[in-house]
Structure 1
Amino acid sequence: MKKVVIATNNAHKVEEISTALDFEGWEFLKLSQVDPYEEPEEDADTFEGNALIKARAAHEHTGLAALADDSGLVVDALGGAPGVFSARYAGVHGDDEANNAKVLAELEGVPDEERTARFACCIAFVDEDGTEITATGTIEGRIAHGLAGDGGFGYDPMFLPDHFNGEKTLAQVTQDEKNAISHRGNALRALKEKLA
């Protein structure tokens, strides 16, 4: 049995990752299932850099294969912001309401055709022997002029994926619909190909 530590305690993320990487004989553990360690500071300026920081730390502390991801929203009209600062864009980590409000305020008056954006995700895998593999995925779309839908989290209520012709936000679709096109789903599919 190959044990792989996923550097998160987010149950939804663990489920999504273990479903996507359904290799026979692999068992996935979340951080709460291994000896506790101080989580590293995510101070890289790229999603790949932050994913590698987390995966390397989990591998180093457990000796097991480890996997981590980093993702965020990239808005073209904001020069790529919020980017790696997506979770704490308004100053407080994980304040979705404040983060959404800040992006919408900064895009005030920007026309539809210039509101292009994407969610980007990088997943880093460090095997037991220290071999490192990364994979990325994106989902293209644009930023709406307000919030819509009560599903999802983070920036989902303002993100209009091209996949739905800009008619529904990610917060207005089912979890299955989201997983089929999401940046993390695309990164996981790319990682699975590399690992296979």
Structure 2
Amino acid sequence: MKTTHILLLCFFLTNFLQGQERFLTKQGYTSFFSSSPVEDIKADNNQVLSIIDTSTGAIAISILMKSFQFEKSLMQEHFNENYVESDTYPKAKFKGKIPNINGLSNSEETVTITGDLTIHGVTKNIKTQAKIIKTQDNISLKGSFPVNVADYNIEIPAVVINNIAKTIEVTFELDHKPYKK
């Protein structure tokens, strides 16, 4: 009987400690910006899912492509139907690593995040700098990185080729809270 109580206690402590190692956000923010001589295009997305495991430094991000909001509804329609083909490729995903996350203090620091970014069914390795603030109750990440549209097999029709930059700037702000099961 005593052994059973000890095993149960160990089980609950393990689950409790594991929960404190993971930080989650369901309302992260990302945007992209395309600047060309013809026009600037910006889209925002406030429904970004991200989880960080502080025991390994692993980070995973999932972005629903149809959640990007544009200033003009026609741009949003073309983005989803013609460029990223959201019905076929509904999400963009990132799986990567934040090195030495447990060695970070409560001050703002710059880290290099590396990992695989998947857009439009194509996966490419990326590396970016991000500002991070890690406390016991929060992990905030903020940064940006360039994405070459052609690298992800996103075809731009000749009619609007000058309207969309070949390289777009992706920006992110993720405010993670401890994950509780």
Q: Same fold (TM over 0.5)?
A: no
Structure holding more strand per residue = 2
Taking structure 1 as the reference length, the TM-score comes to 0.29
TM value normalised by structure 2: 0.31
Larger radius of gyration: 2
> Which structure is higher in helix share?
1
Q: Which has the higher contact order (CA 8 A, sep 6+)?
A: 2
